[in-house]
Amino acid sequence: MAPKRRTRKADAMSAGAPLETEPLHDAPASPAQAEPSGMPAGDSNVAEVLAAQKGARRRPRDAPADDAAEDGQQQRKRRGRIGNMAGEASASTRDNQGLSAVEPAEDMLTDSLDGDRSSGEMLMECVVKIFCTHSEPNFSLPWQRKRQYSSTSSGFITDGKRILTNAHCVDHHTQVKVRRRGSDMKYVAQVLAVGTECDIAMLTVEDPAFWLGVEPVKFGVLPRLQDSVTVIGFPIGGDTMSVTSGVVSRIEVTSYVHGAAELLAIQIDAAINSGNSGGPAFNSKGECVGIAFQSLKHEDAENIGYVIPTPVMEHFINDYERNGQYTAFPALGIEWQKMESPFMRTALGMQAEQKGVLIRRVEPTAPVSKSLKKGDILLSFDSVGIANDGTVPFRSGERISFNYLVSKKYTNEEVRQKKRKEKTMPFGINLMRSQGL
């Protein structure tokens, strides 16, 4: 186990020494403040010109009288240069003292900052804080429930006067309330749908006053590696909104802890703590690209958080709109293993160009049980070839588990597959409902 890092503040407290603090105004000195003399910045050049002028005025007594007019012209030119330099030094002094010499430029900068601030304010106005009271069932004493407890989490407003959050934020709920940013009013919310395996829940508020002056978030496309993301929510450590930023570290099929399902997820290095669950993750364009839902806490890992990507969110919303309720993500109902060993492929009679995965078990109640049996080799899914390690092409230079193709479908939807037992044969099946926890 790696030793814990200690800050200077912690070391000072452990040693009993007084803490050293630095005032906020103790910033590095500006060029005007660093001038050793009492003369403003830029006046040293003026002094040099004055000294040169003083030396120039000392003409020898034997100088010709005709040079007097020429010396006068030179003196007037020097005075003009001195006046210009003094004006520049005065403007520089005003700038160093915080007095802008060009008012229009400052106004343009202020307008630009105001525009960026209004855009950020609009994004934060869509994020709400969720207050939930839970009452879990008591499986040891089924005739009663466990003691109630409360929790807080995050959510955000979408189209159709709906609020998206995590399923575990409203799990076994008895009452759910939401509060907008900057408001002291809590509104009672109704739970429309809960997706356990995808860890997404949909809420709504009947009071029309809650929806006044708010615009729903817009969904963006699946981000790429190293794209910047910003997570907004209400995590522990305070009552107000928190904003953290990071980049996309990884995109792959990941195990969802709440529902024990394997779906597409995005790994980021932004801080995600308790209370961030359900909060949106925005890209640089201000579009929502995910929902924060879990993080990895391990002694050998740091800054590993996960967000639910837009394809999973859109599947959840489309399923609710198509069926009037949430029907879950589909599943094949099989267990399979990789076939990376060339000896295994040779023993099963596969040709050199053939690739696929070996089926170890088939759910007896699954629709696929009529077409697949233990020992079959699944070569493709939905006309996409499956590699020996169980992956399919994802994006340029990327591969992903073929379970991603299954999760894109809907329950009772028919797909075409190809298997091999004694010979290769295509077949069609209907997908079953996922059996998540």
Q: Per-10-residue mean pLDDT for the chain, 437 residues long? A: 44 41 37 39 45 46 45 53 48 42 39 51 90 94 93 95 96 95 94 95 96 92 94 90 94 92 94 92 94 88 91 95 91 91 91 91 88 90 92 90 91 76 55 51
Give residue 144's pLDDT: 92
d(CA 55, CA 153): 78
Q: Is 171 tagged catalytic?
A: no
Catalytic member of 43, 153, 173, 199: 199
Q: Given 134, 153, 154, 168, which residue is catalytic? A: 168
Q: What is the pLDDT of residue 425?
A: 55
Contact 434, 256 (CB under 8 A): no
Could you tell me the end-to-end alpha-carbon distance of the chain, in angstroms, rounded to an integer?
33
Both tokens of residue 333? 């109902």
Give the containing element (helix H, strand E) for 78: helix 67-96
Say whether 172 is catalytic: no
Residue 30 has φ and ψ, to the nearest 5°, of -80, 170
Catalytic annotation, pick one of 154, 277, 407, 434:
277
207 belongs to the catalytic site: no
**Which of 309, 257, 261, 322 minimizes the C-alpha distance to 281?**
309
- Give the ranges where 324-416 is alpha helix by DSSP (H): 342-347, 403-407
With a threshold of 0.75, does the pTM exceed it?
A: no
Task: Tell me the CA distances in angstroms from 304 to 142, 275, 297, one per residue in order.
Answer: 38, 16, 8
3-state helix/strand/coil string of 19-47: CCCCCCCCCCCCCCCCCCCCCCCCHHHHH
C-beta of residue 279 within 8 angstroms of C-beta of residue 155: yes
Q: Per-residue pLDDT tens for 102-140?
A: 344 334 333 433 445 466 788 899 999 999 999 999 999
